[in-house]
Amino acid sequence: MKLQQWGTFSVRDHLKPRAFVADVLLFDKLVIPRPAAASELCGEGQADPNGDQRDRWIQQGWDPDRQRELLDVLGEFNRAVELPWGKEAQQDWQTIHDQPDLSQLECGRSDLTQAIEAQIRLAKENDVAYIVTGSVLSLYVASMLHNEVATKLFALAKIPGVPVEPVIAYGSYAEFSTDQGVRLAEGESRDAAVAPYAMFGWEFFVPEDDHSSDVKLLRKAAKLASRKDLCETRQDFQGWLKLMYEGNVDRQDAYDHMIKMLNEYTRIVRGSGLATVARYAAKAAPVLAPLAGLALHSAGMGVGVGVAASSASLCLEWLLPNPQIPDRLRSAALLYDARRFFHKR
């Protein structure tokens, strides 16, 4: 089974050092909001007397020029879906932020919508409201919230026959745990009946070069991520992972396939000739089937994707959810700097 993962980002994610360099290797598409141009605002039938949204972004400190540089690089390799953050999207954001009852927006009462409602409440409590942007984009990707521009863009970007899973992208465990309201079940029960939400972790390699600017390094990473063999390996890995945690396949069979894909990924990246650095990725998702007896390491034991030793390995750690978010009603999330998860310093 192949699965496309589309990462959804906020209006501020491009401000981070080495923005999107790791993400472009983890996701098939990066769904990124950008300032809407005056012509795009007019196309929505809501002309802005102040012209496009660029000035507003500058006032907010969101540096649209830096974002434009990075988007242009991603566009060279067809790695991003740029969504103009116009009046309609801003109204959706405001409605969800002010009153996170998605029934007002005619969303179906799905697991994803219920999870996002609770996550938005947590984001507001922790004063990180900009994260709501990624939640809105996840609903657009899943076709649970209508946006005409988004619908057209996504239709053009999808690969026929390969399902798409929207995943909220996080840069660190701290961001993830704050937004989603979870904590590691350290020293507590790791029974799925108590903690039906788990984090699957693995080590991966990303380009790094102290002499390259963020733009140049992103270009190297995007070129590598666009290789057909790496795309197929990434989609196979995510497809088998989803089958495993949803209980739709023999768990050990899925695990064996994922280890094979991780080894293949390492071979491709190491064979690219690029200087690389290890990063620690982790995907958090509801677990709908028992995982007892599976040959997964505990995160506390560490993990290594070896090029010399036996091969890759996967980690598993149970998460205890904040009761504000109902069990099994959490959207998938992926973070690329999971040092806390792996107990790395």
Over residues 256-308, the pLDDT tens digits come to 899 999 999 999 999 999 999 988 888 888 777 666 555 555 544 333 322 22
User: What is the pLDDT, as a whole number, of residue 236?
Assistant: 96
Number of Cβ within 10 Å of residue 273's Cβ equals: 8
Mean of the pLDDT values across residues 176-184? Answer: 72
pLDDT of residue 24: 96
Could you give the CA distance from residue 146 to residue 128 in angstroms, rounded to a whole number? 24
Cβ–Cβ under 8 Å, residues 323 and 240: no
Domain ranges in the chain are 4-335
Give the separation between CA 235 and CA 159, rounded to whole angstroms.
11
- HEC letters along 236-268: HHHHHHHHHHHCCCCHHHHHHHHHHHHHHHHHH
pLDDT for the residue 173:
76
Where residue 135 falls among pLDDT bands split at 50, 70, 90? low
Q: Is 100 a residue whose pLDDT tops 90?
A: no
Question: What is the structure's pLDDT at 108?
Answer: 45
Q: What's the mean pLDDT in 48-69? A: 85
* Identity at 99, one-letter amino acid code: Q
Q: How far is C-alpha 65 from the geometric centre of its chain's CA atoms?
A: 23
